[in-house]
Chains A and B, each alone.
Chain A
Amino acid sequence: LAKTTQPISMDSYEGQEVNITCSHNNIATNDYITWYQQFPSQGPRFIIQGYKTKVTNEVASLFIPADRKSSTLSLPRVSLSDTAVYYCLVGGPRMDSSYKLIFGSGTRLLVRP
């Protein structure tokens, strides 16, 4: 399984754009890149997923370069409620139709007023 490396923590201010980069040098051909957000004592919440190039949804964008060895989660105009831990996961479908997704250490984002 591809191991992921993220910054341990990041600080930002309300209204700013935040970019969190994840390194996954040994990503496999059929692996996808998925980002989750987690608040204390809650289950992780799906943010965005991509395979290559750029993906955008209503809350974030995901940029994946051609070599797929890294990815960047972009959160536009963060608010205080975006203070959370953000996890980058790399994994793909298995033969039995399940997935095996291993969490990296995550990035603790603190948004200040």
Chain B
Amino acid sequence: DTEVTQTPKHLVMGMTNKKSLKCEQHMGHRAMYWYKQKAKKPPELMFVYSYEKLSINESVPSRFSPECPNSSLLNLHLHALQPEDSALYLCASSQPTGVEMYGYTFGSGTRLTVV
């Protein structure tokens, strides 16, 4: 299995809703990432997890709450979002670093619309 699977593919939520995005990989990767991408812009790093521990939080507002329950699963919990949070949310994973660096494997993303 060489994929990163993200669910749902599309999500519409109201500003008072609570929802979660899910990301799963079975490649044995021990680092997982969340990126946010607005239309016609490059992906922006949000969070990095390494060995299930939060390693980087790029000053993301607390209405976004990441969680890494195990080495294969990464969640992004959403609460009280604003319309400007509408974007494509991308998950990625990477194998542990060694002599060579291999970069990320990305999922196809969740298209989030906040109404």
- Mark A residues whose CB is within 8 Å of B: 32, 34, 36, 41-46, 49, 87, 89, 92-94, 96-106
Contact = CB atoms under 8 A, between A and B. Distances in A.
| Dominant secondary structure at the A interface | loop
A98 B94 contact: yes
Contacts, number: 76
A56 to B, nearest CB: 16
| Dominant secondary structure at the B interface | strand
B103 A46 contact: yes
B90 interface: yes
Given A42-B108, A46-B103, A101-B103, A87 B55 contact: no
Contacts of B101: 32, 34, 49, 92-93, 99
A87 B105 contact: no
